[in-house]
Structure 1
Amino acid sequence: MGKLQDKVVIITGGAAGIGSGMAKSMVKEGAIVTIVDLNEETGKSMEKELQTISPQSMFLKANLMDQENLGNIVTTVVEKYGRLDVLVNNAHASKQKTIEETTKEDLDLSFGTGFYPTFYLMQAALPYLKESKGNVINFASGAGLNGHETQAAYAAAKEAIRGVTRVAANEWGRFGINVNIISPIANSPGVEAWAKAQPEYYEEVKSRIPLGYFGDIEKDIGRVAVFLASEDSQYITGQTIMVDGGTTMLR
């Protein structure tokens, strides 16, 4: 029996990167995972990989910027499996620009793929999470916590997510629902591409990580997600968990 045996999980942006790392960690602990993504090719490929361990797990294609249909993601999963235990809001897209360069379209992209889906999926999931006394895992970033340059739109949306997560933790604790945040640094495909394109800058950034390396998407980030989705974390809520090798030490 795994830590997440038969728990039904939704992970947005689950076809690749950190989302796929969490999905693999969770199915290995017995979860039934639905990965939600816009990329059908990578989604179907990840679905096959997950089903070798968890045959009921599936890929669901969805455009998270289509706000009117976000509720359908939750109802599709509940209709198929009869319940929902864990919602992981991982997906987020943005463009790197300075504040003076940032346009409304840039803000719309960041909030439309990050904050709004997080908010509306939490709303849609609430009735079912009440029944299961489930968990929500949202995502923040050092870009917001530390104000990284050229990350205005991304940082703004990430800090909005942190704000609504704390509100939900206060409002939903009475229902036995835990709502927490992971703020990661991970060796995702995007970071790997960046390392090849700018190896000196990559090494400089890595040198500032106290533990000395970028986290593994499955072993480092995924295992923390398993913890937050399991009964082991039942007395933790409203927290930002820095899974970044010590780069940001909250006080």
Structure 2
Amino acid sequence: MKLQDKVGIITGSASGIGRGMALAMAKEGAHIAIVDINEEKGNETLAEINQYAEGMLFIKDISVKENVREIVTDVVEKFGRLDILVNNAHASKQAPFVETTEDMLDLSFNTGFYPTFHFMQAAYPELKKSQGKVINFASGAGIDGQATQTSYAAAKEAIRGISRVTANEWGPDGINVNLISPIALTEGVKAWSESAPEMYDAMVKNIPLRRLGDPEQDIGRAAVFLASSDSDFITGQTIMVDGGTIKLH
């Protein structure tokens, strides 16, 4: 029970990678606040979480700054502390660079970068008290500069930038700030694999381990590691949980 009685907030955790991390952490004893806009999926995941630890559910738009502050306040009021912050939620639209619009950039930054920024600011006083852990999300789209991913890549690299800054600034407070860059077999990817099997197979062949990660067993376990005392001497790092697809130097 690596996270016994720890308290965490995970955004975008009703399904996909977020759900996988929530389950993995709950099974290690953590109380998890699920933050999402999908109420049906959120309630399903909350029911699963409650089998292992006490959970909370927030159906809120985290692009609204005031909602972010309310979530942090409500979690601390209920559990008395905050140990783990996972900024996972993000939405974007793909387009070639010359066809990328400011609206596309706004969508990506308002659902990914700014919520990460606002959650980190709101959570900092509590994370300082608990000497807590922040897990943000990077992407190969930004690290590798994938075509048609301008808005997503820009926001993800901005998140990497503030993660490195806060790793330096918050290190003396005992707060660790790291990132996960994943490849995972989520519900969306499964649907895509069925509609475009040749493209899916080609993608898998480019992964050295020849498979996509499981949201709970692969991405979730990596998140448990970064949220636990096992990672106390690691900060400011981008952890590639992608089957070896990208090797950082």
Aligned partners of 2:102, 2:156: CA distance in 1, in Å? 17
Aligned partners of 1:73, 1:143: CA distance in 2, in Å? 29
Q: Deviations over 1:82-117 (max 9, x none)?
A: 000000000000001111111111111100000000
| 1:203-218 pair list within 5 angstroms | 203-218=201-216
Quote the residue 2:123 is aligned against.
Answer: 125
Helix, strand or coil for the counterpart of 1:100?
helix
Aligned partners of 1:136, 1:84: CA distance in 2, in Å? 11
Residue 17 of structure 2 is aligned to residue 18 of structure 1: yes
Helix, strand or coil for the counterpart of 1:58?
strand
User: Deviation at 1:59?
Assistant: 1.1
Aligned partners of 1:202, 1:69: CA distance in 2, in Å? 37
2:135 to 98, 112, 137: 137
Aligned partners of 1:60, 1:149: CA distance in 2, in Å? 34
Quote the residue 2:75 is aligned against.
Answer: 77
- Mind listing any 5+ residue stretches in structure 1 that lack a counterpart? none
Which residue identity lines up with residue 248 of structure 1 in the other structure?
Answer: I
Aligned partners of 1:6, 1:68: CA distance in 2, in Å? 27
Aligned partners of 1:51, 1:133: CA distance in 2, in Å? 25
Helix, strand or coil for the counterpart of 2:10?
strand
Quote the residue 1:33 is aligned against.
Answer: 32
Quote the residue 1:113 is aligned against.
Answer: 111
When the two chains are superposed, the root-mean-square deviation of aligned CA atoms in Å is 0.6
User: Deviation at 1:51?
Assistant: 0.7
Q: TM-score, normalised by structure 2?
A: 0.99
Which residue identity lines up with residue 10 of structure 1 in the other structure?
Answer: I
Q: Deviations over 1:228-251 (max 9, x none)?
A: 000000000000000000000001
User: Deviation at 1:67?
Assistant: 2.0
- Mind listing any 5+ residue stretches in structure 2 that lack a counterpart? none
Aligned partners of 1:214, 1:111: CA distance in 2, in Å? 26
User: Deviation at 1:225?
Assistant: 0.1
Q: Deviations over 1:27-51 (max 9, x none)?
A: 0000000110011111111111111
Which residue identity lines up with residue 22 of structure 2 in the other structure?
Answer: A
Which residue identity lines up with residue 149 of structure 1 in the other structure?
Answer: A
Aligned partners of 2:12, 2:179: CA distance in 1, in Å? 16
Aligned partners of 1:115, 1:234: CA distance in 2, in Å? 25
Residue 208 of structure 2 is aligned to residue 222 of structure 1: no
Quote the residue 1:241 is aligned against.
Answer: 239
User: Deviation at 1:66?
Assistant: 1.1
Q: Deviations over 1:162-192 (max 9, x none)?
A: 0000000000000000000000000011111
Quote the residue 2:182 is aligned against.
Answer: 184
Quote the residue 2:193 is aligned against.
Answer: 195
Quote the residue 2:171 is aligned against.
Answer: 173
Which residue identity lines up with residue 12 of structure 2 in the other structure?
Answer: G
Count of residue correspondences: 249
Provide runs of 4+ in structure 1 moved above 2 Å.
Answer: none
User: Deviation at 1:68?
Assistant: 3.0
Aligned partners of 2:37, 2:131: CA distance in 1, in Å? 29
Aligned partners of 2:70, 2:152: CA distance in 1, in Å? 26
Bigger CA drift: 75-84 or 58-67? 58-67
Q: Deviations over 1:197-218 (max 9, x none)?
A: 1100100010010011000000
Bigger CA drift: 155-164 or 94-103? 94-103
Q: TM-score, normalised by structure 1?
A: 0.98
User: Deviation at 1:69?
Assistant: 2.6
Q: Deviations over 1:60-94 (max 9, x none)?
A: 11101112331111011001110000000000000
Which residue identity lines up with residue 164 of structure 1 in the other structure?
Answer: I
